[in-house]
Structure 1
Amino acid sequence: MKIINIKTIFLFIGLGLMVSCGSGGSDSPEEPVVNLPAKPALALPLNGETCSDFAVVANNVNKAEISFTWSATAHANSYILKVNQSGTEIASQTLTATNYKLILDKGKSYSWTVTAKNNDGENTSATHSFITPGNPVGNYVPYAAVINFNVNSNTSRATLSWIGKDEDSNTNELKYDIEIKEDNNILVSLTNQTATSVADFDAKLNSIYRIKINTIDKNGSYSSSILSYTYQ
């Protein structure tokens, strides 16, 4: 009978264990999936219009209850509704629904945005503006500017223009303050401009651009419009 050395048996067992333990070492960990919410689309009040969807407030003829609605967005857990008047935030509500009602002064201009949020981040809508029904209290504040910003993917040249509107001023009487930031660094800062565009400029890949435009009427009243854009 052939006798196998017991040391040799232990050697083979040890090698087998080393191979089995090392077989999974080359697997790399899976990267976490990031699902940022989509940008909400604003529905009511209609942009650049006098609000028609409202309710009368009992015992107060100077107020109106305004209905806000927007689209549900993919991956959103909640929404933040913000309403501004003359550049001042007057309401900020965190909601899970896609509608809300606010009691506002009659005859004034307001702007609003909705930010969709989840645990991975957030995404803010375009800025819309409207005028509440009724006679104006003082003069109308201008509508928030409608911003048009785009980057040509072939040339990486960015273009920026906007449209201003006011109920009691001609468009040629409006002035604008413009600020453009690239990753929180100021690229452009202009005040009291009458033009509705700026010169094209080179955009940087994977940078975040924040454009803020104040629309100022002949009485010095103003509204703010803000747009964020990620160049990818």
Structure 2
Amino acid sequence: MSNPFIKLLGLSLITIFISCGGGGDDSPTEPIATPPTPATPISPANEEVCLDGKSVSDTQSEVQFIWEASKHTDNYSLVITNLDSQQTTKHSSTTESIFVKLNKGEPYSWYVVSTSNKINQPAQSSTYRFYLAGEGTQSYAPFPAEVVAPEMGASVTASEGTINLRWKGSDPDNDIQGYELFLDVANPPLSSLGAVTDQNKVATVTSGNTYYWQVVTTDAEGNTSNSEIFQFKVN
């Protein structure tokens, strides 16, 4: 004759075993990786002449690049472009500073890419531009003009057969005298639209064409700089 108490005790033990994880999965959840935040450039300062480079030869100086640390970051990549030659170099760092040798008297842009070992979502800082001081240089050429509109590679709709081209010019000496705009369906553009003092120009365009345009900036000393060649398509 079976004992009801013994049966009840057995069922209770089975229930306790199941409720305490027998067959369940209580493994800890992996934390979600957080992407890096963008770094903040500090030095060389934006739109200025860098006088802090250490001369290492008649033609080169060693420049210290400094930026504010970004969160959730394991590595940084410093990207420097010579705005005259358009040559770009990349330099890796695990700290917020790095020394790089550059040619004197030439304009540069730089930004920092922050990366994490835990997640493939890099973050890019804003871009700074500067001139590296040259030996005995008293006047610096303007920075190459930057596109505002139409954006590079954009498709646009003309208004009554015209479009307003806009750009941004800057000069470390603050003595820009004017701009000459070139626009063409050929690359490089050779047709001049004339000189202006404003940073915009209305141009006549034809639907279906792809256009290339470039801005030449001139300062009070006669120094000039050429922008990169911008491109847009007219719907």
Call closer, same or farther: CA 1:146–1:116 in 2, change over 3 Å.
farther
> What secondary structure is seen at the aligned counterpart in 1 of 2:17?
helix
Call closer, same or farther: CA 1:64–1:17 in 2, change over 3 Å.
closer
Given the alignment, which residue of 163, 170, 176 partners 2:176?
Answer: 170
More displaced 10-residue stretch of structure 1: 12-21 or 45-54 = 12-21
Counterpart of 1:71, as a letter, is E
Contact 1:142 1:216 in 2 (8 A): no
- Map 1:61-100 to 2 at 5 A: 61-86=58-83, 88-100=86-98
In structure 2, the gaps of 5 or more residues are: 149-165, 184-192, 194-198, 202-212, 218-223, 230-235
Contact 2:141 2:225 in 1 (8 A): no
Could you tell me the TM-score, scaled by structure 2's length?
Answer: 0.56
User: Identity, % of aligned pairs?
Assistant: 23
CA distance in 1, matches of 2:180, 2:66: 29
CA distance in 1, matches of 2:126, 2:97: 17
Question: For 1:166-204, what per-residue CA distance to the aligned partner results, in whole angstroms no more than 9, with x for missing partners?
Answer: 469837517699xxxxxxxxxxxxxx9x549xxxxxxxx
Counterpart of 2:226, as a letter, is S
Match in the other structure for 1:48: 47
> What secondary structure is seen at the aligned counterpart in 1 of 2:7?
helix
Call closer, same or farther: CA 1:174–1:109 in 2, change over 3 Å.
farther
Question: For 1:111-163, what per-residue CA distance to the aligned partner results, in whole angstroms no more than 9, with x for missing partners?
Answer: 00011221223211100000111277xx946257498xxxxxxxxxxxxx974
By how many angstroms is 1:30 displaced? 4.0
By how many angstroms is 1:101 displaced? 1.8
Call closer, same or farther: CA 1:34–1:109 in 2, change over 3 Å.
same
Contact 2:145 2:216 in 1 (8 A): no
RMSD: 4.4
CA distance in 1, matches of 2:10, 2:145: 80
> What secondary structure is seen at the aligned counterpart in 1 of 2:113?
strand
> What secondary structure is seen at the aligned counterpart in 2 of 1:75?
coil
Aligned length: 174
In structure 1, the gaps of 5 or more residues are: 148-160, 178-191, 197-213, 225-232
User: Larger Cα Rg: Structure 1 or Structure 2?
Assistant: 2
